[in-house]
Amino acid sequence: MAVDGSVLAGLQQEVGVAHSEDLGEISAILVKRFAAAVGDPNPLYNDSDHARACGYADVIAPPNFLTAVINWNPGAPYDQLREDGTEADTHLPGVPAQGVRIMGGGEEMTFLEPVVAGTVVMRTTVLLDVTERESSQGPMLIARYQDTYTDQSDVRLLESVRTVLLR
Amino acid sequence: MATTPISLYPGAALAPVLHRTSKVQVFRFSGATWNTHRIHYDKDYAVAEGYPDVLVQMAPC
What pLDDT, in 10s, does the model give residues A62-86? 999 999 998 898 999 999 998 889 8
ipTM of the complex: 0.86
B6 or A66, which is more confident?
A66
**By the CB < 8 Å criterion, does A71 face chain B?**
yes
Residue B44's SS3 state is helix
- pLDDT band, residue A167 (cuts 50/70/90): confident
DSSP state of B39: G
Q: What is the pLDDT of residue B61?
A: 45
- Average pLDDT score over residue span B29-38: 94
> What CATH fold (topology level) applies to the domain A5-166?
Thiol Ester Dehydrase; Chain A (3.10.129)
Q: What's the pLDDT tens digit per position in B40-55?
A: 999 999 999 999 999 9
B29 contacts on A by Cβ (under 8 Å): 37-38, 68
Rounded Cα distance between A84 and B38, Å, is 6
With CB atoms and an 8 Å threshold, state whether B32 touches A84.
no
Residues in a beta bridge with A24: A121
Residue B46's SS3 state is helix
> Which residue in A110, A113, A115 sits closest to A24, CA to CA?
A115
Interface of B with A in 1-40 (CB under 8 A): 19, 25, 28-29, 31-39
Report domain extents, chain A.
Answer: 5-166
B61 contacts on A by Cβ (under 8 Å): 38, 40, 62, 64
Per the structure, how many domains does chain B have? 1
With CB atoms and an 8 Å threshold, state whether B34 touches A71.
yes
Q: What is the pLDDT of residue A104?
A: 84
**pLDDT beyond 60 at B60:** no
**Number of other residues whose CB lies within 10 A of the CB of residue A143:** 24
**By the CB < 8 Å criterion, does A159 face chain B?**
no
Q: Would residue B8 count as lying in a domain?
A: no
Q: Would residue B32 count as lying in a domain?
A: yes
**By the CB < 8 Å criterion, does B56 face chain A?**
no
Rounded Cα distance between A122 and B21, Å, is 31
**pLDDT beyond 80 at B2:** no
**Number of other residues whose CB lies within 10 A of the CB of residue A133:** 10
Q: What's the pLDDT tens digit per position in A96-105?
A: 777 788 888 8
